[in-house]
Amino acid sequence: MNISAGQKTRTGIFVVISLLLLVGLIFLIGKQKNLFSRTFLVYANFKNIAGTKEGNFVRFAGINIGTVQTITIVNDTTVQLALSIDDKVRQYIKTDAVASIGSDGLMGDKLIMIAPGNTGSAVAKSGDVLLSSNPLNVDKIMNNLAKIADNATVLTEGLADIVTKVNQGKGSLGRLMNNDNLARKMENTIATANETAASIKTTSNTVNENMQAVKGSFLLRGYFKRKEKKRIKDSIDKANKMIAPEKLKKEGNKKDEAKKEDAQKEN
């Protein structure tokens, strides 16, 4: 089978394009994985890495600066992540920087986010262990939300049952809302109570006026004067009873002092 010059040319062009695409792909992946730049390693320990995998991005201030190189189980409560970070950003990674696990969007891949430390802190060196913030337990949160949803369902069903009974005229509230006669009786009772209160107030005002009139009466004026004098006399007597013990005490003290002075003169 003879191959024409055109076919050879097309085959050569296809091969060249494929090689260029392959080189471009390798370069793109290498750039994302920091294969062609200097990097340094730092570590972060977590109790739960929440689905993080090797190759996930490391971000600082929203910028991809490295990847998760390895994941190592240190013990039954600690998992260590080795973070390969571009050496160009080393000056911004301080020894008190905090690493945490987040997501790239709501349902995106996991990634490691590094929060900057204090500007006066030392720059992290290769092999340093950064501070870490353990992620929230999503499963526990979902279980709590499920319980809240179940409780809300029970509460909603209960309220719906109460509303249905009220609409059907069942229970005190239902009878009150659906029985016009009962509502009118309650209105009459409230009106009667208001009339009674007004009558009591009027009677009280009348009694006060009568008492003032009685006090101003010529025939009973002497009675009220004697009553007032007796009240004043009782108040004075009560005050004297309270003052008398103090007065006797003072007189006794004076007599004791006089006796002491007499005794001193005799000596």
Mean pLDDT by 10 residues, the chain (267 residues): 70 82 72 67 89 89 89 90 90 90 78 87 89 74 76 78 69 62 71 77 66 56 67 73 63 68 66
Distance from C-alpha of 26 to C-alpha of 24, rounded to nearest angstrom: 5
Q: Looking at residue 136, what is its pLDDT? A: 67
d(CA 202, CA 118): 79
Q: Could you give the angle at the alpha carbon of 69 between the alpha carbons of 64 and 74, nearest 5°?
A: 125
Vertex 167: Cα angle to 166 and 169 (nearest 5) = 65
What is the rounded radius of gyration, in angstroms, for the C-alpha atoms of the chain?
A: 49
pLDDT at 72: 92
The per-residue pLDDT for 81 is 92
Q: How many Å separate Cα 263 from the centre of its chain?
A: 81
DSSP 3-state percent helix, strand, coil across the chain (nearest 5): 60, 20, 20
Q: How far is CA 93 from the centre of its chain?
A: 33
User: What pLDDT does residue 80 have?
Assistant: 93
Question: Which residues, in sequence order, are bridge partners of residue 180?
Answer: none
**Nearest by Cα to 31 from 59, 66, 56:** 66
Show me where the domains of the chain are located.
38-136, 138-167, 179-213, 216-259
Query: Which residues have CB under 8 Å from 101's CB, separation 6+?
Result: 46, 49, 50, 52, 110, 111, 112, 113, 134, 135
Q: Which residue has the tokens 């990847």?
A: 67
Residues 249, 250, 254, 260, Cα dihedral to 10°:
50
Count CA atoms within 13 Å of residue 8 on its CB side: 4
- Are 101 and 49 contacting, i.e. CB atoms less than 8 angstroms apart? yes
